[in-house]
Amino acid sequence: MKQSISKLVAIAAVAGGAANVAHAQSSVTIYGIIDTSINYTSKALLSSGSTNTGSKMSVDSGINSGSRLGFKGTEDLGGGLNAIFQLEIGYKADTGAFDGTNNGVANTNTLFRRLSVVGLNGNWGTVLLGRQTDAVFQYNQWTSVADFGGITGNVGHNLDRLEGTRVNNAVRYNSPTFGGLSGSILYGFGEVADSSSAGQAFGAGMQYVNGPLGVFTAYYQSKLNADATATSSDTATLVAGNGKAGDTAVKVFNLGASYQAGPARLYGNWSQVKQPLATTATVPSSGVLPSGYIIGGANNNKANIFELGINYALTPTLALISSVQRTNLNYAGTSNTGKLTQLNIGTIYSLSKRTDIYTVLAHLRASNTYNPGAEGTAAGMNNNQSVLTVGLRHKF
């Protein structure tokens, strides 16, 4: 009997130890993207403040997908609960330099500017803490961002957040999926004493996926922080000193859908961005609009951004891609309106599951607004600009 009891105790101890090992199972993954391209840009400004233009050849990083290095991991805590983390650095593959900007906003001291989160997940959903995007970044799989990435950024996606704009000091909850429907809520703390609204950010979104159909909607807003010059988000903000702490700087609404019809993925979306603190600027006698008359600039109080596109799988390894973006701009204190229209055509050829070559011809036309530059390679003038890109992208 004593021997039997001893054996049972020994088996129980081994089983308990095995269970503890199972609960403590963890994994860490190193991943990244290297995206480098050769670009020809027409009508690029010769220098800042100049009205003269010329053609430009360049080797650039992250024209389609931002070059990055990331670390992510999970630990099984038992009972269906997991601890998770993710850290992501941006860098410039063409020079090897640290990429300390996001949507034109400098973060020179931000190492993990792309992502820095820790959280818990289970069958009840996921909670994440740290610097992160709101839900609309996950929904960009239904938009041109999935094919063209940053190529469509300047014409509107940097402003409407579809490319992923980060929020500091944020808490985010992602729900489980119920019948194809899932949701997400984000709150960014301004961390200002005696003011819950200063620097505050809020985002919410939902998506519905049913076979070939994907539909999404999202809303986001952020407020000026304590010194009234910025918000907790990397979203482009208005002229320093315009407004006071706690004033709403930007409001964004997104609605879009995608449908897979055989080899063709068809998609379309609309975003509206309001900047309540926009101010009126005087147009110079030269007639050339200043940089304030730019999408997301200090004078733009409302932007409506429309998009249609298609990805057609010609073969299992070759996709033909095309999209058009149109942005209608309204300016504060004036009847002036501006328009940006960008046409994109290209191909994605997969050499393997991790490596592809992409080619894109993008043409951006600006009417009564400052030209931000097609693909972001170089700013243009108040007319039109074309960019031809051939890129090599490797994911690991």
pLDDT, one tens digit per residue, over 195-218 is 888 889 999 999 999 999 999 999
Angle at 61 between CA 257 and CA 235, to 5 degrees: 55
- Is pLDDT at 34 greater than 80 in this prediction? yes
pLDDT, one tens digit per residue, over 350-393 is 999 999 999 999 999 988 887 888 876 556 556 888 999 999 99
The DSSP annotation for 16-69 comes to HHHHHHHHT-EEEEEEEEEEEEEEEEEEEESSTT---EEEEEEEEE-SSS--EE
- Average pLDDT of span 151-165: 89
The Cα–Cα gap between 157 and 72 comes to 26
Q: Which residue has the higher pLDDT, 107 or 299?
A: 299
pLDDT at 14: 38
Question: What domains lie within the chain, and their CATH numbers?
Answer: 28-395 (2.40.160.10)
- Is pLDDT at 12 greater than 50 in this prediction? no
- Is pLDDT at 99 greater than 60 in this prediction? yes
Among 126, 122, 125, 104, CA closest to 113? 104
pLDDT, one tens digit per residue, over 47-84 is 665 667 788 899 999 899 999 999 999 999 999 999 99
CB 210 within 8 A of CB 233: no
pLDDT at 198: 86
The Cα–Cα gap between 28 and 323 comes to 37
pLDDT, one tens digit per residue, over 248-271 is 889 999 999 999 999 999 999 999
The Cα–Cα gap between 275 and 256 comes to 21
pLDDT at 20: 45
Q: Which residues contact 89 (CB under 8 A, 6 or more apart)?
A: 68, 69, 70, 98, 111, 112, 113, 114
Write down the mean pLDDT value for the chain. Answer: 85
pTM equals 0.85
- Is pLDDT at 118 greater than 70 in this prediction? yes
Return the exposure string of 138-156: e unless at least 16 CB atoms fall within 10 Å of the residue's CB, then b: bbbebbbbebbbbbbbbbb
Torsion-angle region of residue 296: left (phi > 0), alpha (psi -120 to 50) or beta?
left
Q: Which residue has the higher pLDDT, 117 or 166?
A: 117
pLDDT, one tens digit per residue, over 233-254 is 776 555 445 788 888 889 999 9
Q: How many CB atoms lie within 10 A of CB 277?
A: 19
- Is pLDDT at 144 greater than 50 in this prediction? yes
Which tokens go with 127? 């909670």
pLDDT, one tens digit per residue, over 302-319 is 999 999 999 999 999 999
- DSSP count for the chain of H helices, then E strands: 3, 19
Angle at 153 between CA 213 and CA 202, to 5 degrees: 70
Q: Which residue has the higher pLDDT, 228 or 349?
A: 349
CB 335 within 8 A of CB 329: no
pLDDT at 165: 86
